């Protein structure tokens, strides 16, 4: 038996990854994957942008680039982020290989084996596995419809061993779909101030809002720029252009940036120049704005189709909230329900989703499930939801 490191031994196979194998079966309607619909990618627009690049840019696309990112992309992305009110001049921007890498780098920067970190419960599985890979002790804090529980956070903060950071996804949470209220963000800021606990603010979905009136709730904590908190803001091109580009970013205070740049250098030297050139052209052409506006409408339609189907078919004991943006609806089932039994039946019937315990930092709580509406047409949603509802009834009565 090869003698693996302790850190690697603590890694578990992700249930999402296992289910992806099933999700790719053509006869199954998949509500499992958190990926954009293939039919929505701006394939022709990007082809045209590439064709129009001058030869020097095309050559640079094939070449290694600087570790922090191609200067032209750093500049155009700063413009994009400044429009959200983010303090780009007072911080440093680092292009990463997906925002997954940003989370991994931040994990490496802060965590020593056995040290506690605070995460939401439920929490994005990619963050859990990144922090687990540095042998963090994951401490989950409950999330309700307005955001993270402040009472739960206070309890965790008052414990003896201080957490190394708090990780949150306040804008269309994965998996819970929650959009934090402005009030909850302010309470969170007040609770963190003076604790010397940095905040990792993951904004992978904030652009995919359905209601213009939600702007105040969508304002990043990083843009509020609160005194006395080191906010590490992460974002991604995955949901606003395509995950295949493998491009994300972090916007962090200078001192944290310096460590992160060194970590990235040792991980992959630089993110793909080829896709950086494309993302840069996409921003500079202004198409990113019109494209995001169009996919927002499409996801809103898909979400509405799922809401209508859930209203029609779900038993009343299942709790859920209508999404205000993003990709997900989170169903809470009666206490003690095992969602794995439900997914097994649903797969037999022809639909798949992700079970709740995947997102539990302790990997136990399983009376919930995540449905994604992003990757299905309204027709597929109308066909698939009754299968899920029937499986729920078969298990819960
Ligand atoms: C909340 C959240 N953060 C980060 C990511 C990572 O995205 P990527 O590495 O593609 O940028 C995802 C992907 O689904 C996500 O849901």
The verdict on 100 and 243 lying in the same domain is yes
pLDDT at 25: 76
The verdict on 243 and 273 lying in the same domain is yes
81 three-state secondary structure:
helix
pLDDT at 33: 87
Residue 345 has pLDDT above 70, yes or no: yes
249 three-state secondary structure:
strand
Pocket test for ligand 1, best of 16, 32, 100 (most atoms within 8 A of CB): 100
Q: Is the CB of 174 under 6 A from ligand 1?
A: yes
Residue 366 has pLDDT above 80, yes or no: yes
CA distance 344 to 327: 23
The verdict on 380 and 257 lying in the same domain is no
Q: Is the CB of 238 under 6 A from ligand 1?
A: yes
181 inside domain: yes
49 inside domain: no
> In the chain, what percentage of residues exceed pLDDT 90?
92
User: Which residue puts its alpha carbon closest to atom 12 of ligand 1?
Assistant: 204
Which residues of the chain form beta strands (DSSP E)? Answer: 29-30, 92-96, 116-121, 137-144, 147-148, 166-168, 199-202, 231-236, 248-252, 328-332, 351-352, 354-355, 368-372
The verdict on 245 and 369 lying in the same domain is no
The verdict on 89 and 210 lying in the same domain is yes
User: Which residue puts its alpha carbon closest to atom 2 of ligand 1?
Assistant: 204
pLDDT at 179: 98
Q: Is the CB of 177 under 6 A from ligand 1?
A: no
Pairing of strands 231-236, 147-148: unpaired
pTM for this prediction: 0.96
CATH number (domain holding residue 385):
3.90.1150.10
365 inside domain: yes
pLDDT digits 0-9 by tens, 265-302: 999 999 999 999 999 999 999 999 999 999 999 999 99
pLDDT at 397: 87
161 inside domain: yes
Q: Kindly state the greatest CA–CA separation across the chain.
A: 65
Q: Where among 287, 315, 330 does a domain terminate?
A: 287
pLDDT at 16: 53
Q: Are 207 and 71 in contact (CB under 8 A)?
A: no
Q: Is the CB of 98 under 6 A from ligand 1?
A: yes
Ligand 1 atom with the shortest distance to the CA of 103: 4
* Residue 226 token pair: 């609160």
- Ligand 1 centroid, distance to 173 Cα (angstroms): 11
| DSSP state letter for 357 | G
Ligand 1 atom with the shortest distance to the CA of 247: 11
User: Which residue puts its alpha carbon closest to atom 3 of ligand 1?
Assistant: 204
Using pLDDT thresholds of 50, 70 and 90, give the confidence band for residue 384.
very high
C-beta atoms surrounding 378 within 10 Å: 16
Q: Is the CB of 236 under 6 A from ligand 1?
A: yes
Residue 318 has pLDDT above 60, yes or no: yes
CA distance 380 to 282: 31
**Residue-averaged pLDDT of the chain:** 95
Ligand 1 atom with the shortest distance to the CA of 173: 1
pLDDT at 14: 60
pLDDT digits 0-9 by tens, 203-247: 999 999 999 999 999 999 999 999 999 999 999 999 999 999 999
- Where is average pLDDT lowest: 322-326, 343-347, 368-372? 343-347
User: Which residue puts its alpha carbon closest to atom 6 of ligand 1?
Assistant: 100
The verdict on 253 and 382 lying in the same domain is no
- Within 8 A by CB and 6+ apart from 182, the residues are 216, 217, 219
CATH number (domain holding residue 271):
3.40.640.10
- Ligand 1 centroid, distance to 153 Cα (angstroms): 24
Residue 10 has pLDDT above 80, yes or no: no
Output the CA torsion sign for 129, 130, 133, 134.
Answer: negative
Structural domain harbouring 299: 6-42+289-396
The verdict on 34 and 147 lying in the same domain is no
- Ligand 1 centroid, distance to 383 Cα (angstroms): 28
Q: Is the CB of 235 under 6 A from ligand 1?
A: no
Q: Is the CB of 172 under 6 A from ligand 1?
A: no
pLDDT at 160: 85
50 inside domain: no
Ligand 1 atom with the shortest distance to the CA of 246: 10
Residue 142 has pLDDT above 80, yes or no: yes
Helices (H), 240-284: 254-268, 273-284
The verdict on 151 and 279 lying in the same domain is yes
The C-alpha angle with vertex 258 and arms to 83 and 167, in degrees rounded to 5, equals 60
The structural domain count of the chain equals: 2
The verdict on 305 and 220 lying in the same domain is no
Q: Is the peptide bond before 237 cis (omega within 30 degrees of 0)?
A: no
The verdict on 38 and 61 lying in the same domain is no
Residue 12 has pLDDT above 60, yes or no: yes
Q: Is the CB of 276 under 6 A from ligand 1?
A: no
pLDDT at 364: 92
**Nearest in space to 112 (alpha carbons), one of 56, 181, 74, 162:** 162
CA distance 372 to 116: 30
pLDDT at 379: 95
The verdict on 102 and 38 lying in the same domain is no
pLDDT digits 0-9 by tens, 89-120: 999 999 999 999 999 999 999 999 999 999 99
Q: Is the CB of 120 under 6 A from ligand 1?
A: no
48 inside domain: no
The verdict on 241 and 253 lying in the same domain is yes
Q: Where among 243, 271, 287 does a domain terminate?
A: 287
Using pLDDT thresholds of 50, 70 and 90, give the confidence band for residue 26.
confident
pLDDT digits 0-9 by tens, 159-206: 889 999 999 999 999 999 999 999 999 999 999 999 999 999 999 999
36 inside domain: yes
323 three-state secondary structure:
coil
- Ligand 1 centroid, distance to 379 Cα (angstroms): 27
CA distance 110 to 130: 12
Q: Where among 236, 252, 287 does a domain terminate?
A: 287
């Amino acid at each position: 038996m090869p003698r693996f490191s302790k850190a690697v031994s603590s890694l578990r196979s992700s249930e999402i990854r296992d289910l992806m194998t099933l999700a790719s079966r053509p006869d199954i309607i998949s509500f499992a994957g958190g990926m954009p619909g293939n039919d929505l990618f701006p394939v022709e627009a990007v082809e045209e942008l590439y064709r129009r690049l001058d030869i020097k840019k095309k050559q640079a696309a094939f070449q290694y680039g600087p570790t922090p990112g191609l200067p032209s992309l750093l500049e155009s992305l700063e413009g994009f982020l400044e429009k959200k009110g983010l303090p780009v001049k007072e911080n440093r921007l680092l292009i990463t290989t997906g925002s997954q890498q940003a989370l991994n780098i931040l994990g490496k920067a802060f965590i020593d084996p056995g040290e506690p970190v605070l995460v939401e419960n439920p929490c994005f599985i990619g963050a859990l596995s990144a922090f687990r890979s540095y042998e963090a002790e994951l401490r989950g804090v409950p999330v309700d419809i307005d955001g993270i529980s402040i009472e739960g956070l206070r309890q965790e903060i008052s414990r003896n061993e201080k957490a190394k950071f708090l990780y949150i996804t306040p804008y269309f949470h994965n998996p819970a779909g929650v959009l934090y209220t402005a009030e909850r963000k302010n309470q969170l800021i007040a609770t963190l101030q003076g604790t010397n606990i940095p905040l990792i603010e993951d904004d992978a979905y904030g652009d995919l809002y359905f209601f213009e009136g939600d702007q105040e709730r969508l304002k990043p904590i990083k843009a509020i720029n609160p005194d006395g908190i080191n906010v590490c803001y992460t974002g991604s091109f995955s949901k606003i252009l395509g995950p295949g580009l493998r491009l994300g970013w972090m916007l962090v205070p200078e001192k944290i940036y310096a460590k992160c740049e060194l970590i990235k250098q040792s991980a992959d030297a630089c993110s793909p120049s080829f896709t950086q050139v494309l993302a840069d052209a996409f921003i500079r052409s202004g198409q990113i704005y019109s494209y995001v506006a169009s996919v927002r409408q499409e996801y809103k339609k898909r979400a509405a189709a799922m809401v209508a189907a859930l209203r029609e078919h779900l038993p009343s004991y299942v709790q859920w909230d209508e999404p205000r943006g993003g990709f997900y609806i989170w169903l809470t089932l009666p206490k003690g329900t095992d969602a794995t039994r439900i997914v097994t039946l649903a797969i037999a019937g022809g639909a798949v989703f992700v079970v709740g315990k995947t997102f539990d930092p302790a990997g136990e709580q399983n009376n919930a499930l995540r449905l994604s509406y992003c990757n299905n047409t309204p027709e597929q949603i109308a066909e698939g939801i009754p299968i899920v509802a029937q499986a729920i009834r078969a298990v819960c009565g």
